[in-house]
Amino acid sequence: MRKIIKNLGFVWKRVRKSLKKRRDQKLFESAKKDIDKFLKQHKKGEISLHYFDGSHFSLTPTVPYAWQEPGNEIEILSQKGGQNNVLGLLTPDCKFKSLIYESKVDTETIIEAFNIFFKYKRKDEKYVIVLDNAPTHKSDEFIEAMKKWEVQGIEFYFLPPYSPELNKIEILWRFIKYTWLPLEAYVDKNSLQEHLVEVLRNVGTKYRITLC
């Protein structure tokens, strides 16, 4: 059966998750045009475009493949814990800032992170931050903080629902989880954090993606 299917031109590959069927395509295309405009402005030096998002890293392995000797399978202990919540800010030219939180990320945490990210922003710089519509980004506290940041020349652009492809930092998270974190990172909590910090510190130099 497998041979017949292969002869028909089918290939065996990972099935990808998608939210395309849930989104409003018109809103998606409109947002895509807006971001393309921001990108052109960024390249001209008119603005500084940033993609913002958070990701979770734990001791539950996300490495699906590894080179293995025949008859000698590599096994990784699947265990809970070692939670690391990373908040990151990425520019199209791969300038990257990140913070790791072991505790739960709430609105207060995100406001704190943005204040740290914006600490050394020049007064004459204009930032455009692309982010999703997570509840923490829509809370009353966050909206109040936005008003203060906007006075500093920082604009927030919210993506339409179910449009993760437009937030380019998602590409970075996938590379970290599926390519750059080695198998030994999942031995214990300390090892995970050590390897994660090493990757985060070297994004844009040792670790690069096509976006950059």
Match 């909590």 to its residue by tokens.
189
Specify the amino acid at residue 212: C
**What's the confidence (pLDDT) of residue 76?**
56
Q: How far is 59 from 81, CA to CA, in rounded Å?
A: 6
**What CATH number belongs to 44-58+79-212?**
3.30.420.10
Terminal Cα distance for the chain, rounded: 43
Domain boundaries of the chain, sorted by first residue? 44-58+79-212
Residue 47 near residue 126 (C-beta atoms within 8 A): yes
* Interatomic CA distance for residues 52 and 44, integer angstroms: 21
Tokens encoding 13: 């590959």
Provide CB contacts within 8 A for 204, sequence distance 6+: 94, 95, 96, 212
Amino acid identity, residue 190? N
Count the neighbouring beta carbons within 10 Å of the beta carbon of residue 159. Answer: 22
Distances (CA, A) of 51 to 43, 56, 95, 103, 111: 15, 17, 10, 23, 16
Return per-residue pLDDT of the chain as tens, 212 residues: 666 655 656 655 544 545 566 789 999 999 999 999 999 999 999 999 999 999 999 987 665 555 555 656 555 555 555 689 999 999 999 999 999 999 899 999 999 999 999 999 999 999 999 999 999 999 999 999 999 999 999 999 999 999 999 999 999 999 999 999 998 898 899 999 999 999 999 999 999 988 75
H or E stretch covering 129? strand 127-131
The maximal CA–CA distance of the chain, rounded, in angstroms, is 65
Which residues is 51 bridged to in the sheet?
90, 130
Q: State the residue for tokens 């920082």.
A: 154
Burial 120-131 (b: 16+ CB within 10 A, else e): eeeeeeebbbbb
Structure tokens at 194: 């050590």
